[in-house]
Amino acid sequence: MPINLGPFEKMSVFGSPVFSLSVAAGMNTHLELGKLPLETKCTINFINIMDKLFEIFNSCKVPNRKSYRRPFKNISIQIEHLSIMLSFFKKIKVISKVNGTDVTSRMNFINGWLISINGMLKLWVLLNESTRHPSDYVLFTNRLNQECLENIFGMFRNKNGNNRNPTPVQFCFISILKKSVPPMLCCQNLHKECLSQHSCDLCIEYGRSQTNLDQAFLLCYFKAYTNTAQCTDNLRQSSNARK
């Protein structure tokens, strides 16, 4: 866990790595060796309960030896821990280390966890009631978090000109570019080839009014304008094609 975070590391989620069982185990080892004060035990306990909470909210269908990481089934061990965490976040107080004032009301993560826990419990009830086999229903909670979304945004930030805050407009532009530009370029190129052979006012006006590529453009590119045949080189002229 880096102490001095860079501009991109600040956007990453470090909650899971910090509040993990491995960190708690390492701190507990240092505590037993006398390298940490006894007050550290409270921090270790806090990390342990947070680790279990993160596991409940990141459960997946892959078999796991960690009981809290298994798919959410609203069993007693899961409900009991969620109840403990609800009570914990309702009673927690955050004191500023600078001036000793109570800054609990400014800690948005507290209300965020309360909303997440209550929301997941209500979602379970709703989904469980709607399934045909309620007793066999499980919820993969890792699909409810933003980890996947954060990862893909992180890839865009790091690999696309160090863009720290890509906007929805930029993503929309990329989507439009991929879907619209190739047909438009193709249409424009075909129309240019057509006009190089025949450029009357009617054809020019028709080309300006067209925004979509259809079969008429394809035929107009391959057939000679002096040829009045409806079929040329196995290409049939569209009914709305201009002659």
Residue 80: how many CA atoms within 13 Å on its side-chain side?
Answer: 4
Matching residue, tokens 């309960």: 49
| Mean pLDDT value across residues 34-53 | 92
What string of DSSP letters covers the chain?
--SS--TTGGGS--HHHHSSHHHHHHHHHHHHTTSS-TTHHHHHHHHHHHHHHHHHTT--SS--SSGGGSPB---HHHHHHHHHHHHHHHH---B-TTT--B-GGG-HHHHHHHHHHHHHHHHHHHHHHHSS-GGG--B-GGGTSSHHHHHHHHHHHHHSSS-SS--HHHHHHHHHHHHHHHHHHHHHHHHHHHHHH---HHHHHHHHH--S--HHHHHHHHS-TT---SEETTEEPPTT---
Q: 189: pLDDT confidence band, cut at 50, 70 and 90?
A: low
**Listed range (23-32, 133-142, 196-205) with the worst mean pLDDT:** 196-205
Mean pLDDT for the stretch of residues 46-52? 92
Stretch 201-216: mean pLDDT:
66
**Mean pLDDT in residue range 30-58:** 91
Mean pLDDT, the chain, whole residue set: 75
pLDDT digits (tens, 9 = 90+) for 59-100: 887 777 788 888 899 899 999 999 999 999 999 999 998 898
Rounded Cα distance between 52 and 110, Å, is: 17
Q: Residue 210 — very low, low, confident or very high, per pLDDT cuts 50/70/90?
A: low
| Number of Cβ atoms within 10 Å of the Cβ of 74 | 15
Mean pLDDT over 169-175 rounds to 60
- Domain boundaries in the chain? 1-57, 71-144, 146-237
pLDDT tens profile 134-166? 778 888 888 887 766 677 777 776 665 666 666
Q: Higher pLDDT residue, 29 or 21?
A: 29
The C-alpha atoms of residue 16 and residue 9 are separated, in whole angstroms, by 14
Give the model confidence (pLDDT) of 112-130 as tens digits: 999 999 999 999 988 888 8
